[in-house]
Amino acid sequence: MGKSDEKFRIDDNRFMATKANLSRQGNMLEAAKQIRDYVESGMTQADISRKIDASPMHVSDCLMLLKKATKKIIEWIEGGQITASLVVEMLKVIHPLEVENAIKLTLAKRESTEEPNVSGKKQVKPLTRLEIEEVYGLPVTPKSKKENSIPNKINNITQKSATNSIYNFTEDTDKPFISETDFDKAVALLKRKKNIILQGPPGVGKTFIARKLAYEIMHEVKNENIEMIQFHQSYSYEDFIQGLRPTSKGGFELRNGIFYTFCQKALKHPKEEFFFIIDEINRGNLSKVFGELMMLIEADKRHEKYALKLTYTEDEKDRFHVPENLFIIGTMNTADRSLAIVDYALRRRFAFFPLRPDYGETFKSFLSEKGVSDNLVEHLCLSITKVNSKIKEDKNLGDGFQIGHSYFCSFNKGDDESKWWDDILSFELQHLLDEIWFDDSAKATEMIKILSR
Beta pairing partners, 326: 274
Q: Which residues contact 369 (CB under 8 A, 6 or more apart)?
A: none
Looking at residue 158, what is its pLDDT?
36
Chain segment 93-104, per-residue pLDDT in tens: 566 666 676 777
Measured CA to CA in angstroms, residue 85 lies from 99, 120, 135, 309, 372 at distances of 13, 30, 18, 38, 42
Q: Is the pLDDT reported for residue 226 higher than 90?
A: yes
Burial 386-414 (b: 16+ CB within 10 A, else e): ebbebbeeeeebebbbbbbbebbeebeee
Contacts of 320 (CB under 8 A, 6+ apart): 260, 263, 292, 296, 307, 308, 309, 310, 313
**Confidence grade of residue 9 (pLDDT, cut at 50, 70, 90):** very low
- Whether 388 shows a pLDDT value over 90: the answer reads yes
Q: How far apart are CA 10 and CA 16, in angstroms?
A: 12
User: Predicted confidence band at 165 (pLDDT cuts at 50, 70, 90)?
Assistant: confident
For residue 62, pLDDT over 60 is answered with: yes
Is the predicted pLDDT of residue 125 greater than 80, yes or no? no
Percentage of the residues of the chain whose pLDDT score is greater than 90: 42
Q: Is the pLDDT of residue 191 over 70?
A: yes
What pLDDT score does 337 carry?
52
Rounded distance, CA 70 to CA 75, Å? 9
Q: Which residues contact residue 48 at a Cβ distance below 8 angstroms, ignoring those fewer than 6 apart?
A: 8, 10, 35, 38, 54, 59
DSSP string, 217-263: HHTEE-GGGEEEEE--TT--HHHHTEEEEE-TTSSEEEEE-HHHHHH
Domains present along the chain, CATH in parentheses: 7-136 (no CATH), 165-354 (3.40.50.300), 366-451 (no CATH)
The mean pLDDT of 3-24, rounded to a whole number, is 36
Q: Distance (Å, rounded) from C-alpha 35 to C-alpha 53?
A: 12
pLDDT 10s digits, 244-302: 888 778 888 888 899 999 999 999 999 999 999 999 998 888 888 988 888 899 999 99
Averaged pLDDT, 374-393: 95
